[in-house]
Chain A
Amino acid sequence: MSTELGLPVFTNTSEEDLGGRWGMVIDQDICTGCQACVAACAMENNIPFVGEVDAAYGRSLQWIRIERFWEGTFPEVKMTPYQPMMCQQCHRAPCEPVCPVFASVHSAAEDLNLQVYNRCVGTRYCSNNCPYQARTFNWRDYTDSSLHPELTTLHNQLNPSVTVRRRGIMEKCTFCIQRIRQSEDAAKAENRELQDGEVVPACAQACPADAIVFGRIDDPESRVSQAARSARGYHHLEELGTLPRVTYLKGETDGRRG
Chain B
Amino acid sequence: MAVAARPIPRAQQHAQEHDDPREHLMHDPKPRGEMNAMVLESMHTAGWRFYAATGVLMLLVLTCFFYAWYYMIANGLGVAGVNRPVFWGIFLVNTVFWIGISHAGTFISAILRVMKIEGRRPFTRAAELMTTFGLVQAGASIFMHMGRVWLAYWLFPFPNERGLWPNFHSPLMWDFLAINTYLLCSTMYLFLPLLPDIAMVRDHTTGWRKVPYRILSLGFRGTEGEWKNLQTAMNIFAFAIIPVMFSVHTIVSWDFAMAMRPGWSSSVFGPYFVVGALHSGMAAVAIVLFMIRSTMKHMTYFIRPEHFNLIGKLMLIVSMTWAYFYFNDYLVPWYGGDKWEKLLQEFTEKGPLWYLWYIMLIANIAVPWLILWNRKWRSTPWLLATVGVIINIGMWIERYVIIPEGLTINRMPFTWRLYVPAVEIFLTIGTISLFMLLYMLASRLIPIIPVWEVQEGQAAHMLRKVGKAQVSTVSDIE
Q: Which residues of A contact B (CB under 8 A)?
A: 54, 57-59, 65, 67-69, 83, 85, 94, 97-102, 119-125, 127-129, 131-133, 136-141, 167-170, 237, 240
Contacts and interface: CB of A to CB of B under 8 A. Distances in A.
Size range of the chain B interface in the assembly: 35 or more
Nearest to B413: A69
Contacts of A136: 84
Given A140-B75, A168-B77, A102 B172 contact: no
Given A98-B259, A128-B88, A122 B148 contact: yes
Contacts of A58: 83-85, 415, 417
B414 interface: yes
Contact of A125 (B82, B176, B255, B412): B255
Contacts of B412: 67, 85, 131-133
Contacts of A98: 169-172, 258-259
Q: Which of B82, B85, B167 has the most CB of A within 10 A?
A: B167
Contacts of A59: 78, 83-84
B437 to A, nearest CB: 28
Contacts of A100: 155, 166-167, 170, 172-173, 176
Given A58-B417, A100-B155, 8 more contacts: A100-B172, A101-B164, A102-B165, A119-B154, A124-B82, A128-B88, A131-B260, A170-B147
Given A122-B77, A133-B84, A133-B415, A168 B260 contact: no
Contacts of A168: 76-77, 146-149
Nearest to A101: B154
B171 A167 contact: no
Q: Which of A99, A124, A140, A141 has the most CB of B within 10 A?
A: A124
A125 B410 contact: no
Q: Which of A59, A65, A128, A168 has the most CB of B within 10 A?
A: A128
B146 A141 contact: no
B151 interface: yes
A129 B259 CA distance: 5
A209 B292 CA distance: 73
A166 B420 CA distance: 24
A235 to B, nearest CB: 13
B261 interface: yes
Nearest to A57: B83
Given A59-B78, A123-B147, A140-B76, A97 B169 contact: yes
Q: Nearest 9 A-B pairs (CB), nearest first?
A: A122-B147, A168-B147, A139-B78, A167-B76, A168-B148, A140-B78, A58-B83, A100-B172, A140-B76
Contacts of B407: 128
Interface string B218-251: 0000000000000000000000000000000000
A127 B75 contact: no
A124 B147 contact: yes
Contact of B151 (A99, A121, A137, A141): A121
Contact of B88 (A54, A97, A124): A124
A31 to B, nearest CB: 15
Contacts of B376: none
Nearest to B407: A128
Contacts of A140: 75-78
A131 B411 CA distance: 6
12 contacts: A59-B78, A59-B83, A69-B414, A94-B259, A121-B155, A125-B171, A129-B261, A131-B411, A133-B410, A133-B412, A133-B415, A140-B75
Contact of B145 (A57, A65, A123): A123
A119 B412 CA distance: 28
B1 interface: no
A141 B258 CA distance: 31
Q: Which of A94, A100, A102, A119 has the most CB of B within 10 A?
A: A100
A97 B259 CA distance: 10
A168 B79 CA distance: 12
Contacts of B149: 121-122, 168
A129 B169 CA distance: 14
Contact of B259 (A122, A128, A237): A128
B164 A137 contact: no
Q: Which of B77, B169, B171, B417 has the most CB of A within 10 A?
A: B77
A101 B414 contact: no
A120 B148 contact: yes
Contacts of A120: 147-148
Contact of B260 (A69, A137, A141, A240): A240
B152 interface: yes
Interface in B405-437: 407, 410-415, 417, 420
Contacts of A129: 258-261
Contacts of B82: 124, 139
Contacts of B413: 69
B83 A85 contact: no
Contacts of B147: 120-124, 137-138, 167-170
Contact of B77 (A94, A133, A167): A167
